[in-house]
Amino acid sequence: MKRSLMIILSTLLLVSLLLGSSIGGTGVKTAIAYSGYPTFSIVSVKTDKTVTIRTYNFPAHNTFKVMMNYIGTHGINGIVVDTIDSGAGGSFKATFAIPKALKGQYQIAIRLQSTSGSGYYAYNWFYNNTKYSGTGGAYNYTSGYYGYPYITVMSVVKNKTVTLKITNLPKNDKYKVLLGKSGALGVNGTIVGTFITGKGGTKTIKVKIPASLKGKSPIAVRIQSIAGTGYYAYNWFYNK
């Protein structure tokens, strides 16, 4: 009798393991299918009001708290501004209010941290003053241009291409686009393209990831004026 009972219990345990369990709609098969790490880019900012992000490679059915903090903190121990559910996961857009305590800050760190026990997180930062912020150059009051250009990484196809949204470009300037090893800010990187700003403002471009950087991650991206204006901008992205 004891032997029969042990066989029955062992069979029930095996069936339970094969069927799996679900928490918030996430089954064993879904958990096994997910790989890599979640990331997100900054889509747009309304100074002292809101920031809109786009996520990439987020796990399904995870709850994330959204935190903002001073630049350099990676958002750790920041002000919790929202809690979101990743739903089906992957890529989606979300907008969050900038907290009162951080209004007026030039740059703000933002972090999404899972509260579902998975341990996943992602962080980034943004300029809170989108009209007069950037990464390098010199003011040119005579042309009516103010601030600096800056880069948002929109999407990446691993080892193939990266799509960039470049904002606040001056008029009639010409740039080279460079990709290089992380930490070098793109300086002396591989030239992967050039473009002319024309009327200025915003421009979206797609460039190929060179063979020398395939398999490398993260990768630095830089635009550098070759028309003598001195303007430049840099950012980085995960090659995944």
Q: No. of H helices and E strands in the chain?
A: 2, 14
- Please tell me the distance from the alpha carbon of residue 165 to that of residue 79, in angstroms, as a whole number: 28
**Same domain, yes or no: 168 and 202:** yes
Residue 92 domain flag: yes
| DSSP secondary structure letters along 157-208 | ETTTEEEEEEEEEPTT-EEEEEEEETTTTTTT-EEEEEEE-TT-EEEEEEEE
Q: Please tell me the distance from the alpha carbon of residue 185 to that of residue 35, in angstroms, as a whole number.
A: 28
Distance CA 143, CA 229 (A): 12
Residue 69: both structure tokens together = 């903090």
118 with 145, same domain: the answer is no
Q: Is residue 186 domain-resident?
A: yes
Identify the domain containing residue 56 by its residue range.
33-127
47 contact partners, CB below 8 Å, separation of at least 6: 128, 129, 130, 131
Q: What is the pLDDT of residue 136?
A: 54
Q: Based on the fold, state whether residues 172 and 104 are members of the same structural domain.
A: no
- Most distant CA pair in the chain, distance: 95
* Same-domain status, 145 and 112: no
Question: Which residues of the chain fall short of a pLDDT of 50?
Answer: 1-32, 130-134, 139, 141
Which of 105, 127, 149 terminates a domain? The answer is 127
Distance between CA atoms of residues 180 and 219, nearest Å: 6
pLDDT in tens, 101-129: 888 777 789 999 999 888 999 999 888 76
Euclidean distance between CA atoms 172 and 180, whole angstroms: 26
> pLDDT tens across 10-28, in order?
433 333 333 332 222 233 3
Does 145 lie in the same domain as 99? no
Total number of domains in the chain: 2
What pLDDT does residue 137 have? 57
In whole angstroms, give the CA distance from residue 165 to residue 144. 22
